[in-house]
Amino acid sequence: MRNDARGGVDEPRMEAICEGPNVDPEVFRSILARVGDKWSMMLIGMLQEGPRRFSELKSMTPGISSRMLTQTLRQLERDGLVEREMFAEIPPRVEYQVTPLGLSLVPAVLALAEWAATHTAEIAANRDAYDAAAE
């Protein structure tokens, strides 16, 4: 923690977090890339409500291809944020669910999603103004 300009206590600085004694820089960056990925964040947010089948996740995630959904779910599974359960049925059924580690990420994901939803119009207007000035 550090003091901010107003004399109160502010959040730790990114630099201090990145350079912590137990932080491997390569792993740290890869974690930020994973959890900052738009598809990963959306899937974690959707899976916090309970297990979902692949087809459900695909229909709930507009714009994602089957290949990208498969790849993202595998990466989330590798990181221990999502688990995959296969059921020996005919036809075979597979469900994905968020793990306890993944659930610990949900508040941050939802906070960022809420921020994005709140500021969508403002950011779109800024983009339009920037693009118009660049022409």
Report pLDDT for 33: 85
In a domain, 32, yes or no: yes
The answer to whether position 45 is within a domain reads: yes
Give the confidence band of 9 by pLDDT, cuts at 50, 70, 90.
low
- Helix, strand, coil shares of the chain, percent, nearest 5, are 60, 15, 25
Rounded to whole angstroms, the Cα distance separating 61 from 64 reads 6
Distance CA 29, CA 45 (A): 21
Domain encompassing residue 128: 22-134
> What pLDDT does residue 130 have?
97
Q: State the Cα–Cα distance between residues 115 and 110, nearest whole angstrom.
A: 8
How far, in Å, are 10, 12, 28, 118, 131 from residue 50 at the CA level?
Answer: 35, 33, 28, 26, 41
Domain count, the chain: 1
Q: What is the pLDDT of residues 47-77, one digit of tens each?
A: 999 999 999 999 999 999 999 999 999 999 9
Rounded Cα–Cα distance for residues 116 and 98 (Å): 22
Residue 127 lies in a domain: yes
**pTM greater than the 0.85 cutoff:** no
Residues 6+ apart with CB under 8 A from 88: none
Backbone angles phi, psi at 12, to 5 degrees: -65, 150
Question: What percentage of the chain carries pLDDT values higher than 90?
Answer: 60
Do the domain assignments include residue 6? no
Computed on alpha carbons and rounded to an integer, the radius of gyration of the chain in Å comes to: 19
Is residue 62 situated within a structural domain? yes
What CATH number corresponds to the domain at position 32?
A: 1.10.10.10
What's residue 26's pLDDT?
Answer: 84
